Amino acid sequence: MDLQIRTAVVTGAASGIGLALGARFARAGLGVLMTDIDEAVHRRASELAAQGARVTAVTADLTDPHAVDRLADTAFDRLGGIDVVCNNAGVLGPVGQPLWEVPLERMRQVFEANHWAHVLVARAFVPRLLERGRPAHLIHTASMSAFVVGAGSAAYAASKHADLAVARSLRADLRGTGIRVSVLCPGRVDTPMVQGLAAPRGAGGDTSVSAEDVAGLVWEALGSDRFYLFSNPDAPQRLRAQFDEVWRHVPLPSPSPEE
């Protein structure tokens, strides 16, 4: 795909992977709109702008459909057109508690941020991108937790499974158009969200990467047809263990007498 990358929108851009994505794009000369519910996004954008970057910061609650629509209008008004949308905002939520002990309201909050906000952003931006008729790329941040699930991680893992399904559906919906879709599935990333956190039993990998490493992976994938973006070196063995477990439970046909 002949994607001319000039502008990008990054959600959840006040820290972690989102901030690294915004900085990577800005330093490459893109016009970038960084958004977050945290007011700190304005300080981060100002720091990048002081280095000569073309960055706009917008505070927005992405669980509010009206706020997301306003964000999309603002992005197209200020940048003139969008080439990349990184649907990255998310929260960790309660970790270490079994499902029956997690307050339902906490689970709902995790789904609002990790799943419904991504749905709203896609619904707001995709029609505008299609109307514009130029190539673009959507990056949805899911997680290795969309595949590997351990104890005490029901809220986060379930929301990431849902986001993986949304990304897969979007990819199918947009096949034949100029809009590519990728799903980012990082393992443990050294960000403020996970610092000091012990991974739930059965869910943690053996490696950690930096947010800048993840941003570099995304940058290299832009414009390509790569769907799954795995950032950590232990991803192959973690995925293999999961799919081996699935395959172990698949009923195989009995061999025919000729065999």
Catalytic positions, written as ranges: 156
Q: Are 71 and 58 in contact (CB under 8 A)?
A: yes
Question: How many Å apart are CA 37 and CA 33, to the nearest integer?
Answer: 14
The candidate with the shortest Cα–Cα distance to 5, out of 218, 213, 250, is 218
Q: Which two tokens stand for residue 122?
A: 């896609």
Question: How many Å apart are CA 176 and CA 179, to the nearest integer?
Answer: 8
Q: Secondary structure of 209-249 in the HEC alphabet?
A: EEHHHHHHHHHHHCCCCCCEEECCCCHHHHHHHHHHHHHHC
Contacts of 212 (CB under 8 A, 6+ apart): 20, 23, 24
- Give whole-number Cα distances, 17 to 41, 61, 143, 188, in Å: 13, 18, 12, 11
